[in-house]
């Protein structure tokens, strides 16, 4: 950061097309940024009554070129995050 003074926030440029039906890359970033493990997410989903198979959990962490890749939707990303938040609140309270 320089001493030149504050600058207005600007959005970064879109460097990729975003398909809401293929959000695995975003989910991988969320896991890396939060240090969440797929096992923790699975526990949270199970706690809210969402069954998750081993194959589905494994598909979250592979590239879209992998044989076991299965596209993750933005709705799944949101549900997973909400499940983790709910479980954290339940454990804290």
Share of the chain above pLDDT 70, in %: 95
Contact 18, 72 (CB under 8 A): no
Residue 64 has pLDDT above 60, yes or no: yes
Share of the chain above pLDDT 90, in %: 65
Give me the mean pLDDT over the 55-78 stretch.
92
Predicted pLDDT of residue 5: 63
CA–CA gap between residue 19 and residue 80 (Å, rounded): 18
Q: Is 45 exposed, middle or buried (0-12, 13-18, 19+ CB in 10 A)?
A: buried
Give me the mean pLDDT over the 34-46 stretch.
94
Task: Report how far apart the first and last C-alpha atoms of the chain are (Å, whole number).
Answer: 40
User: Which positions ≥6 away from 18 have C-beta within 8 Å?
Assistant: none
């Amino acid at each position: 950061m320089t001493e030149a003074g504050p600058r207005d926030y600007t959005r970064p440029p879109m460097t990729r097309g975003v398909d809401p039906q293929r959000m695995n890359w975003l989910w991988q970033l969320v896991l890396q940024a939060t240090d969440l493990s797929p096992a923790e997410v699975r526990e949270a989903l199970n706690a809210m009554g969402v069954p998750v198979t081993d194959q589905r959990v494994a598909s979250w962490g592979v590239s879209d070129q992998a044989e076991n890749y299965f596209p993750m939707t933005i709705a799944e990303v949101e549900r997973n995050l909400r499940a983790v938040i709910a479980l954290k609140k339940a454990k804290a309270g």
